[in-house]
Structures are given as C-alpha cells and as structure tokens.
Structure 1
Amino acid sequence: MSYLCVLCSLLPLVGYAVVALFVVIVAILLSDADLRLMYAAKFGKQPESLAGKVVWITGASSGIGEHIAYCLAKAGARLVLSARRKDELERVKAACVSLGQVTESDVLVLPLDVVKYETHKEAVQKVLDHFQQIDVLMNNAGRSQRAAWLDVELDVDRDMFETNVLGQVSLTREVLPHMISRKAGLIAVMSSIAGKVGVPMSRSYTGTKHALNGYFGCLATEMSEHNIDVTIICPGPVFSNVTVHAATGKIGETVGRAMDKSEKKMSTERCAQLTCAALANRLYEVWISQNPVLFLAYVGQYMPDLGKWLILKFGVKQIMKMREGGK
C-alpha cells in the first residue's frame, strides 16, 4: 500500500516532466540553433559588446567568414582579415568600412595561407604591430568534401587534415602566448555538425571536424586558468560557395559545383549573426542549423544509439538530400 501511495505521489512529477520534454522538443523544432545559443542571441550580450576588440578572422574572403566580418564591422570591432586572395580581402574590407562603424585603419588585410605554418609567427607579429593586441581569433578557414568512403585516396585525408586541422592548431599556437601574457582572449574554431555525427560521403571532412572538436576541447580545459575561453561552432548546411572548392576523393580535384539559390539551407548572413552571438557570449560549443539536422544533432548527442538508428533508417540518400538542401 505504501508503494502505491509513493507511486501516486510521483504521477504529477511524471506529468510535469512529460510536458517539459514536449516543450523542449517543440522549442528545438522551431529553432535554427541550440537552445542555449538562441537564448543568448535574444537576451544575452550582443555583438556590439565586441566594439573596439581586435578580432582576427581566417577564411575571411568569402562565405561565413566574410559575413562574420560584416556583422562584427557593424558592431564596431577592429578586424584582421586573412585568406589567400588579397583582392577578395580588399573587397571585404571596403564593404566593412562602408558600413560606417569602422575606419580604414580599423581593418587590417593580412593575406595568409593556413598550411604555410612557417609564416604564422610573422603574421601574428604583424597583427600586434598594427593593433598591439588580439582579443579574438576566429579560425574559420577550411574546405568541404564530397566523396564515398571507399573512393577517397589517403593523400586527400592528409591534405584535408593539413588545411582543416593543423592550420588552425598552428595559428592558434602562435597567438596563445600573447593572450596568456594578457590573461585574456577568446579562441574560436569553425567546426561542423559533421564533427558531432558521422555524416556520409565526406570521410575526410567529417574526420577533420571531429578532430577539431578534440583539439580545441583539450585547449579549453588547459586555458581556463589563463582566463582564455574557447568557442567551438558547429553549423549544419549553410548556403555558401564551399561546394565550388570542395575536395573529392582524388587529390587536386574539386567538386566545382555552385549551390543553387533554391536549396533549403540556412543563409550565410544568419549563420554569421548566430556565430557572432556565440562569440559575444563566449559560449563553449554551439550548434547552428535548420531542422531536421538540428533535431538529429540533439538526439545524437543525448541518445546516441537512437541517433544512429535514425540515421541508418533515413539512409545515405536521404541524409545527403538534407545536406544538399533537398536538391
């Protein structure tokens, strides 16, 4: 009888838990980022809190990096724009200055190839000579990939790892002594939802993004005593030009396909806005994606066996359809 009484007393709590779970699921399905980031973007610090800060963005000549630059320029942050193409960086700089919140001297164009590791120390010094400080390093450079697992040459894995992982690790390693000496700083890295789940048809890309999460998760633990934060950004499908330069399974070969405007993907501008909100609030790990990819990321994180089962049920073709925006 006593057990029955206890059970009856717990029924209301079970009811509340079910309602709460239902509300969370609905909130996720109505969101385009994880709930912590959605809350921070609406009620937390805004990008304007980075006004006057020096933010170094790699991969700033196009795509998400370019639009992060615009978002931060509007907020009044001082910028370092890096990529291989100087002419494109100058174009982005001119657009940043035209927004009216930064001047020519507030935006430094610094061409950089992330795989030329021997140039990174000198590049850091150039930034310090110009601004005397680096507050945020936004490691955004990288390549995507499209190829079946068995069709990928091992040299492609090596090349992707050099670009997507070691380039970010090398530059971060050169920036950190400055941040440690100041006891302040934020290191951010552009990972991917592919760094959380096993996305098919891109083994090298998926592997590099998982590696980034490991490298920078380790860094976050070690740097906490120096007051240096780490932000790992994991976008899902975003409309950009990544498929033009994306690798395939053969070394030196690219996909060469531009995205169609009809593809159902998050806009580059929206992804950049949410990324800047993550930087402003110094969040550790954020997921930025439309559904159903966002929901699958939640399931994969908190119920991995169920997440794996769902992915297998969807199958490669359906997963790729989600990734390519229904095309």
Structure 2
Amino acid sequence: MAWGCAVCGLLALGGLLALLAQLARWLRADGDLTVLWAEWRGRRPENELPGKVVWVTGASSGIGEELAYQLAKIGALLAISARREDELERVKKKCLEISSLGEKDILVLRLDLTDRSSHEAATNSVLKHFGKIDVLVNNGGRSQRSLFVDTNLDVFSAIMELNYLGTISLTKYVLNHMIQRKKGKIVTMSSVMGIMGAPLASGYCASKHALQGFFNSLRTELTDYPEISIINICPGPVQSKIIQNVFTENLAKSIENSGDQSHKMPTDRCVRLTLVSMANDLKEAWISDHPYLAVCYLWQYAPTWAWWLMNKMGKKRIQNFKSGVDADVSYSRKNK
C-alpha cells in the first residue's frame, strides 16, 4: 500500500511538472496565468492609469525607479519617495525627459519608512500637491543574505521595522484618504518569498509573509468599499540593485560581492506585468521566471513536494553564496 501511494505521488508530481513545462512552451514563462491573461485580454495600463496620481516608495533605484519611468511614459502623475533625495531628483529628471509630464506633475518627497512619525505629514504633502492619491505602491524595502545561526537578532528587528511596520504605517494614512473617496488602489511589492521559504532569507521571508497575511486580511475588512483594491505583487529574482543593499548578519556589514545579476528577469518586464496587474485589480500576481514560478505552484498545491525540492535547491543556494556568486545563479536557464 505504501509503495502504491508513493508511486501515485510520483506520477502526480510528474504530471504536474509536465503540464507546467508544456504551458511554459505555449506561454511566456514569466508570470502566472492570471497575469498573462490580463496582459493579453485585460485592461491596458495605457488606458487605465493616465492622469492617476501614483505614489511610489523606494523609487530611487530598481523596480521603483523603473515603475516611475513606465508610469511617466503612460502619463500618470507621480509622487516618488525614498531616503536619497538626490537620486529621486535624478529619476525625476529622466521622467521629464522621456514623457510629456511637466515639472509640477512629479513630486519628489524624501521618506524614511522606518520614521513612522513622519508618515502622516508625508501623506498630507502628497494630498496638498495633487489633491488626491489614486494608487499607493508600497515598494520600499530591503532583502537579506545571511544564515539565521550567524545573524544578530537586531537585523530581524530592522527588517520587520522597514519592510513590514513601515509599509503598513504609510498604508494606514493613505487608506484613510481612500476610504473618504471610496476608491483607490494599494499595491504592495511582496515577493515569491512571501509564498515560500528559502535559506539565506529567513528574516526577509518573514517580513513578506507578514505583508501577505496583513493585506489579505485588510482586503476582507474593506468589503464595503468595492472600489478600493488591495493588490499583492510577488516577483521572483529581478535585475535590480536590491542585492547590493541587502541585510547581512549584522547591521554594520554590507554584502561583499553581489555577483552577476544578468540571469534574472529584466526589471522592465517585471514592472510591465506589475502595471498590468494594477490596471486589472488582480488580488495577487506571481511575476517570475522558472523554476521559481513552478516552485510557487508546487508550494501552493503540493507543499510536501515543495519542501523536499527546496531542501535540494537550498543546499546549492548556500554553496553559491559562500563561494561569492549570486545565490540563485544555478537555477537560471539564461545563465546556462
């Protein structure tokens, strides 16, 4: 009987992987089916977002910076925030160069997510400038590369303060405005790490799981406001500067070598699918190349197999990190 169950399990897993492989041949294997269907048949960002006031945090680099550029080209009005005001000014300058927006259509607003006492005033500044906030994109945050046994507990406190508490604090003030208007979108850049677990990122995974739980719960509290959308975006590895700024085993230490990032999903593709998800009010979007996307499906529908597979993949991830290359380089078809 036990052998029969094991064989059935293997056949089921083999069938699931074969189906995913076939779907990958038919479709672009960089987003779940809901996102791809919305991209092809759904509402287009170019039609839904022009003239909307979009506040993007973490806009000085990476996904946040690319979001600013693509939103500017579409014609959205922008509030861009991060800690480095000089970098925000650089982003604003490029936005003006590549779009038809005017100087007053882009507000540069310095913001530290860990300074929660400043979030109400920051929200009021955006409202004073534009009169409304149509979309809040919670993009600010930091990742992690360190083993739990080597990591000081104050690192975990800092991760939660920035990625989780800072995000929900800002959301609270913006949501009050959206409730008054009875409409708006709150888009949060979570991660595939908010769905699964992985070595070297236990604190980061915890913060993203916390965001997933929070916003999924918040959505159920807003049933009286059907035009307020709660949208969770879960990217996999993306070509951005997030690895250069990760938390390590102590707060004073930065990562020594971030490794080559060219094998990861291009940032512009991740942002395009994010805007598609935003325009179509998708509750959750997985945006990733394989094998990470396939692992998300396994984690969702066959968690026992996902745990087994992650144990195998995790060993190699740790080996890569310790040898000075990008932790995920072994799993990229592009790299091979």
Q: TM over 0.5: same fold?
A: yes
Pick closer, same or farther for the CA change 1:136–1:240 going to 2, 3 Å: same
Q: Percent identity?
A: 45
SS of structure 2 residue aligned to 1:113: coil
- Residue 92 of structure 2 corresponds to residue 70 of structure 1: no
- The gaps in structure 1 that reach 5 residues or longer are 1-17
Match of 1:85 in 2: 84
Deviation at 1:252, TM superposition (A): 2.4
Match of 1:165 in 2: 164
Distance 2:118 2:272 in 1: 30
Q: Is the 8 A contact 2:198 2:310 kept in 1?
A: no
Match of 1:7 in 2: none
Task: List aligned pairs for 1:81-160, cutoff 5 A.
Answer: 81-160=80-159
Q: Is the 8 A contact 1:245 1:256 kept in 2?
A: no
Q: Report Cα offsets for 1:107-130 as digits up to 9, x if no partner.
A: 110010011101100011110111
Deviation at 1:232, TM superposition (A): 0.6
Match of 1:240 in 2: 240
Match of 1:37 in 2: 35
Aligned partner (choices 12, 26, 45) of residue 47 of structure 1: 45
Q: Which 4+ residue blocks in structure 1 deviate beyond 4 angstroms?
A: 18-25, 318-323
Q: Report Cα offsets for 1:236-286 as digits up to 9, x if no partner.
A: 11111112111111122221434425x410011111111111111111111
Q: Is the 8 A contact 2:147 2:199 kept in 1?
A: yes
Pick closer, same or farther for the CA change 1:118–1:318 going to 2, 3 Å: closer
SS of structure 2 residue aligned to 1:127: helix
Q: Name the TM-score, length of structure 1 as normaliser.
A: 0.89
Match of 2:288 in 1: 289
Distance 2:72 2:53 in 1: 11
Match of 1:10 in 2: none
Distance 2:284 2:238 in 1: 18
Q: Is the 8 A contact 1:243 1:257 kept in 2?
A: no
Match of 2:183 in 1: 184
Q: Report how many residues are paired.
A: 309
Pick closer, same or farther for the CA change 1:319–1:68 going to 2, 3 Å: farther
Q: Is the 8 A contact 1:191 1:233 kept in 2?
A: yes
Distance 1:320 1:107 in 2: 44
Match of 1:201 in 2: 200
Pick closer, same or farther for the CA change 1:256–1:22 going to 2, 3 Å: closer
The one-letter code of the counterpart of 1:195 is G
Match of 2:298 in 1: 299
- The gaps in structure 2 that reach 5 residues or longer are 1-13, 321-325
CA RMSD of the aligned region, Å? 2.0
Q: Report Cα offsets for 1:41-77 as digits up to 9, x if no partner.
A: 1221111110000000000000000001111111110
Pick closer, same or farther for the CA change 1:315–1:118 going to 2, 3 Å: closer
Deviation at 1:21, TM superposition (A): 9.1
Pick closer, same or farther for the CA change 1:100–1:320 going to 2, 3 Å: farther
SS of structure 2 residue aligned to 1:161: helix
Q: Report Cα offsets for 1:120-144 as digits up to 9, x if no partner.
A: 0001111011100000000000001
